[in-house]
Chains A and B, each alone.
Chain A
Amino acid sequence: MGTAVTAGALGWGPYVLAVGLVGLGLFVLVDDDNLVKKVVGLNLFQTGIYLFYVAGAFRVGGRSPLTVDPGGGPYVNPLPHVLVLTAIVVGVSVTALAAALVVRIHDEQGTVRASELRSAGVGDRE
């Protein structure tokens, strides 16, 4: 790993992929008919944002943020790692709650298709 930073795959590539994942996750969340796939799209969206943070924390020639060895060189930025760590665990809580809701909706309404739920009047105001 050299110290010169090039605008190649390691330049803005991870950011572009993160943006693509955010857009794709939002698209699946909005467009797909199956409730389960909507939750999967939500997870795509979340991991795209995590990628953005982790890619922003990286520095060329950096070491992981463990100061066990003395005389350590430049470290990658540990602060976004902390944010992403918390976000991952909160994300799995949200996903589990969403999964519980989907299972309950299926057992009450008999379907997990958003179009069928909409035409059955689920969620309309009384």
Chain B
Amino acid sequence: MIDVLVLTLLVLLAVSAIAVAAFRDPLAAVLAFGTYSLGMAMLWAVFRAIDVALTEAAVGAGVTTALFLVVVFRTTAVRASGFRSVGTVRARSAAVLAVVVGALLWTLPALPAVGDPGAPGFQRVAPEYVDRAPALGVDNVVTAILVAFRGFDTFGEVVVVFAAAVAVLVVFDREVVR
């Protein structure tokens, strides 16, 4: 049952990603991207990554798509239509695609299959975190790792978000959000 669900979501993701790349109009590409983000969030929920799925649904299908819509409406007045023709693809870009995909696919057989319980990732660090977190009183292991065990990285990340907001203000020559 779960195999059918995962397969359906994988096909949806592949089709919408190809649509994002193929549409000539950036508005159509952004709308396809919204579908793609929502499908990705659903796939992660099936993979039992619920915190991540919640965040991706709010961010990918919400904030990022809205941001792209704002940018598209500000920058493009003429509406193109249809798909990009294969003849407009440059040889360099196709070479980049082939090299990257080929090299990564070549390394894939060395990985354990998805869902394999004997994968090395489950051996040492993860079970220790899962055992220590409820002992501290925090039931959500992801939150415990984020703040209690690896709080240093999280602090850096919060500062990055703040710095990005400051950087956007700098791009627009503003000092405060008013």
Contact = CB atoms under 8 A, between A and B. Distances in A.
Interface of A: 1, 3, 5-17, 19-24, 26-28, 30-32, 34-37, 39-41, 43-44, 47, 50-51, 54-68, 74-82, 84-86, 88-97, 99-104, 106, 112
Contacts, number: 261
Interface string B1-23: 11100110010011001101100
A6 B116 CA distance: 9
Contacts of A93: 160-161, 163-165
19 contacts: A10-B3, A36-B26, A36-B75, A47-B36, A50-B52, A50-B56, A51-B43, A54-B49, A55-B114, A58-B47, A59-B116, A64-B48, A74-B117, A75-B130, A77-B126, A78-B141, A82-B150, A99-B71, A112-B75
Contact of A40 (B26, B50, B90, B101): B26
What's the dominant secondary structure at chain A's contact region? Answer: helix
B176 interface: no
Contact of A102 (B71, B104, B129, B140): B71
A82 B164 CA distance: 21
Question: What secondary structure prevails in chain B residues at the interface with A?
Answer: helix
Nearest to B14: A17
Given A28-B21, A36-B26, A67-B139, A8 B126 contact: no
Interface in B56-71: 56, 59-60, 63-64, 67-68, 70-71
**What is the size category of the interface that chain B forms with chain A?**
35 or more
Interface of B: 1-3, 6-7, 10, 13-14, 17-18, 20-21, 26, 29-30, 33, 36-37, 40, 43-44, 47-52, 55-56, 59-60, 63-64, 67-68, 70-72, 74-76, 89-90, 92-94, 96-97, 100-101, 104-105, 108-109, 111, 113-117, 119, 121-122, 125-126, 129-130, 133-134, 139-142, 145-146, 150, 153-154, 157, 160-161, 163-165, 167-168, 171-172
Given A19-B104, A60-B115, A47 B40 contact: yes
A10 B112 CA distance: 11
B142 A88 contact: no
